[in-house]
Amino acid sequence: MIKDIIKTIDEIAKTDPTRDAYDYLGKTNTYGDLKQRSDAYAAKIVALHLPAKEPIMIWGGQTFEMIASFLGAVKTGHAYIPIDSGSNNERLLMIQEVSRSKTVIAIDPLPVKIDGVKVITPADVPTVDFEPNPHYFVEGDDNYYIIFTSGTTGKPKGVQISHRNLLSFVNWELSDFNLPAQPSFLAQAPFSFDLSVMSLYPALVSGGKLVVLPREATQNFGELFQVLPKMQFNVWVSTPSFAEMCFLDSTFNGDHHPDLTHFLFCGEELSHKTAVALQKKFPQAHIFNTYGPTETTVAVTQVEITPELLAKYDRLPIGYAKADTKITIDTSKGEVNDQGEIIIHGPSVSKGYLHNPDKTKAVFFKSQADTELSYRAGDLGFIKDKLLFYRGRIDFQIKFNGYRIELEEINFYLSKHPLVKYGVVAPKYTPDHKVRQLVAVVVLNDGVKEQYQQAEIVKQLRESLEKNIMPYMIPQRFVFQDEMPISQNGKVDLKAVIKEVNQA
Amino acid sequence: MDTQTEVLNILSDLTGEDLSDQLDENIFETGLMDSMGTVQMLLELQDKFGIAVPVSEFNRAEWDTPKKIIAKVESLQNE
């Protein structure tokens, strides 16, 4: 059982400094490098004399300097806020505003100047002889990282994950998945997505290795399918959608990836069809379905998808709760017998959203007899034979290609557009319950249709959305209607629109 | 059904739009198709036409309009 993430990683650097920790398309860095660079970042941060515990934003992709700066931050008692450099300027500015962070480590060049915020680049951080004082390491209930999710009306919410939260998660992953010793992990998810944590810390605390598949290489199939067949690792971590993309590669199978023994899926529903196809390609591998909101630290349930399980269930279970965590169902929130909202209770539940007591109070709670916090997941589910099953959302949040999207956030910006009278976005689902595309259903203001061509209107709406929301939130399709289902309180009836879109 | 109609059916299913009168429309620039959509498209084309798309040489610029996709499928069928 690991007791301290930072000390454990440093210990490996001391006993085995030449062991590889990071492999970025063949460019490797050792545990010794990791200690040296993270200590250098720590020295730089100490010299800034920041207020204690003030979080530090870290902007970049998936390079080695990113993880070195993460560790540099936590070695000096500061939580880090990972922001992927694929994000737009507005998101960066919004995260700064919400977090009130006064420092950004720009591993990639910053696209925008932020007033009153100090920028540190890797060039400002010379490698020096410095041994950070363990007394200042992040520990206990102090924040270790803060990951921002999207939030309604554009304000993202910062989920605060403490060292204690992270320990609960990491120890579970190391004990309940029967992983090989010193496992090497695929590191594909961007660091701003907490799926990345499923690879990052379990690898580093056990002397394993991260084998990086950077976003740039996954954007273009040509490159992806040149890189992927050459990669060797033990543990695959991704969304099911990403694995499906790899099905296109005829060499994506056990014969060509003999080291690959484990698949860990999280971030969206694993369909029966995908699991069957994967089992055919990798008959020797162990396939795990997992589930958990960012607010409860990456994942809290797991189940191995065996042939027996596939024979028994058409829609796969999401797993058993980890030993230190209790999951209950609030059936007052469900419409079907025994179904209800999933409530998660245990040591990996976050203390709440940074600087947002209202939103925190709405979903986090602690009853008097409890020692641990509980989180209302907003997910609909039920428990049978101790196994948890997922059945959708109780609100208008969806998962699309692994990203968590609040439809109301897109609706907010779409409706604000001067050409639009009503605008809402509906997910269109595949037969196996995955979101295939986002469809914007729009009623235009009077006279707009006569004034512009439809293609011109779509272009204008798209361009305006691009300025305010993440690229993965932009609807693929725009449908124009003369009217919209309106509910009794005078608002657009979202449920009715979603139903219409999925009937067509 | 001929190749053109079949391809357009697959595209219309994926994008939700009838592209039969927009054969030169760039489906990536217009946002109709993204990378996950491309995966679905290629999987369905391979399935429907029994062709093997050489994905390691995949170049998006060769697949960015309905017309180019139809031509690609036809040339792969003749291989």
Which pLDDT tens digit goes with each residue over A352-381?
Answer: 999 999 999 999 999 888 889 999 999 999
Which pLDDT tens digit goes with each residue over A109-138?
Answer: 999 999 999 999 999 999 999 999 999 999
> Could A476 and B34 be called an inter-chain contact, meaning their C-beta atoms sit closer than 8 Å?
yes
Total residues found in chain A within this entry:
504
Grouping H, G, I as helix, E, B as strand and the rest as coil, residue A415 is helix
Whether the predicted pLDDT of A153 surpasses 80: no
- Region A474-488: mean pLDDT is 89
Mean pLDDT score of chain B, rounded to an integer?
Answer: 87
Q: How many CB atoms lie within 10 A of CB A418?
A: 8
Q: Which CATH number fits domain B3-77: 1.10.3720.10, 1.10.1200.10, 2.160.20.10, 3.30.70.20?
A: 1.10.1200.10
% of chain B at pLDDT higher than 70: 100
| Phi, psi angle pair for A190, to nearest 5° | -60, 155
Whether the predicted pLDDT of A154 surpasses 80: no
b (16+ CB within 10 A) / e for A334-351 = beeeebbbbbbbbbbbbb
Residues of A in contact with B34 (CB under 8 A): 476
Confidence band for A61, pLDDT divided at 50, 70 and 90? very high
Which pLDDT tens digit goes with each residue over A207-226?
Answer: 999 999 998 888 777 888 89
Mean pLDDT score of chain A, rounded to an integer?
Answer: 93
Whether the predicted pLDDT of A396 surpasses 70: yes
Percentages helix, strand, coil for chain B (3-state, rounded to 5) are 60, 0, 40
A199 touches chain B (CB under 8 A): no
User: Domain residue spans in chain B?
Assistant: 3-77
pLDDT of residue A69: 98
In the chain, the amino acid numbered B34 is D
pLDDT of residue A107: 98
pLDDT of residue A57: 98
Which pLDDT tens digit goes with each residue over A329-355?
Answer: 999 876 778 899 999 999 999 999 999
Whether the predicted pLDDT of B55 surpasses 90: no
Among the residue ranges B9-18, B21-30, B70-79, the one predicted with the least confidence is: B9-18
Confidence band for A504, pLDDT divided at 50, 70 and 90? low
Q: Which residues are CB-neighbours of A246 under 8 A, at least 6 positions away?
A: A224, A228, A252
Residue A279 is encoded by which pair of tokens?
A: 């089992």
A112 touches chain B (CB under 8 A): no
Angle at CA of residue A166, ends A162 and A169, nearest 5°:
145
pLDDT of residue A90: 85
> Could A248 and B53 be called an inter-chain contact, meaning their C-beta atoms sit closer than 8 Å?
yes
pLDDT of residue A217: 86
Q: Which domains does chain A have, with CATH numbers?
A: 5-384 (3.40.50.12780), 401-503 (3.30.300.30)
How far, in Å, are A29, A173, A213, A231 from residue A26 at the CA level? Answer: 10, 27, 10, 9
pLDDT of residue A432: 75
**Closest CA–CA distance from residue B16 to any residue of chain A (Å):** 7
Q: Is-contact A353 A359, C-beta < 8 A?
A: yes
> Could B55 and A247 be called an inter-chain contact, meaning their C-beta atoms sit closer than 8 Å?
no
Among the residue ranges A10-14, A76-80, B15-19, the one predicted with the least confidence is: B15-19
**Closest CA–CA distance from residue B49 to any residue of chain A (Å):** 15
pLDDT of residue A260: 98
pLDDT of residue A404: 81
Q: Is-contact A208 A233, C-beta < 8 A?
A: no
Q: What is the CA radius of gyration of chain B?
A: 11
Q: What is the CA radius of gyration of chain A?
A: 23
Query: What is the dihedral sign for C-alpha A75, A78, A79, A81?
Result: negative
Whether the predicted pLDDT of A427 surpasses 90: yes
Residues of A in contact with B55 (CB under 8 A): 221-222, 225, 248-249
> Could B60 and A220 be called an inter-chain contact, meaning their C-beta atoms sit closer than 8 Å?
yes
**Closest CA–CA distance from residue A398 to any residue of chain B (Å):** 16
In the chain, the amino acid numbered A226 is Q
> Could A220 and B57 be called an inter-chain contact, meaning their C-beta atoms sit closer than 8 Å?
no
Q: How many CB atoms lie within 10 A of CB B45?
A: 21
pLDDT of residue A248: 87
User: Residue ranges of the alpha helices (H) in A313-436?
Assistant: 357-363, 407-416
Whether the predicted pLDDT of A318 surpasses 60: yes
Grouping H, G, I as helix, E, B as strand and the rest as coil, residue A308 is helix
Q: Comparing A400 with A16, which gets the higher pLDDT? A: A16
Looking up tokens 């010299």, which residue turns up?
A47
Whether the predicted pLDDT of A16 surpasses 70: yes
pLDDT of residue B30: 76
Q: Which residues pair with A144 in a beta bridge?
A: none
Among the residue ranges A35-49, A228-242, B6-20, the one predicted with the least confidence is: B6-20
Whether the predicted pLDDT of A152 surpasses 60: no
Stated pTM of the model: 0.87
Residue A198: which of A79, A269, A294 has the closest Cα? A294
Confidence band for B44, pLDDT divided at 50, 70 and 90? confident
pLDDT of residue A244: 87
Q: Is-contact A209 A16, C-beta < 8 A?
A: no
DSSP label at residue A319: B
Q: Comparing B13 with A183, which gets the higher pLDDT? A: A183
Confidence band for A48, pLDDT divided at 50, 70 and 90? very high
B13 touches chain A (CB under 8 A): no
Q: What is the ipTM of this complex?
A: 0.73
Which among B39, B53, B59 has CB closest to A245?
B39
Give first-to-last CA distance, chain A, whole Å: 53
Whether the predicted pLDDT of A151 surpasses 70: no
B77 touches chain A (CB under 8 A): no
Residue A235 is encoded by which pair of tokens?
A: 């543990």
% of chain A at pLDDT higher than 70: 99
> Could A221 and B60 be called an inter-chain contact, meaning their C-beta atoms sit closer than 8 Å?
yes
Q: Which residues are CB-neighbours of A96 under 8 A, at least 6 positions away?
A: A57, A104, A114, A117
B16 touches chain A (CB under 8 A): yes
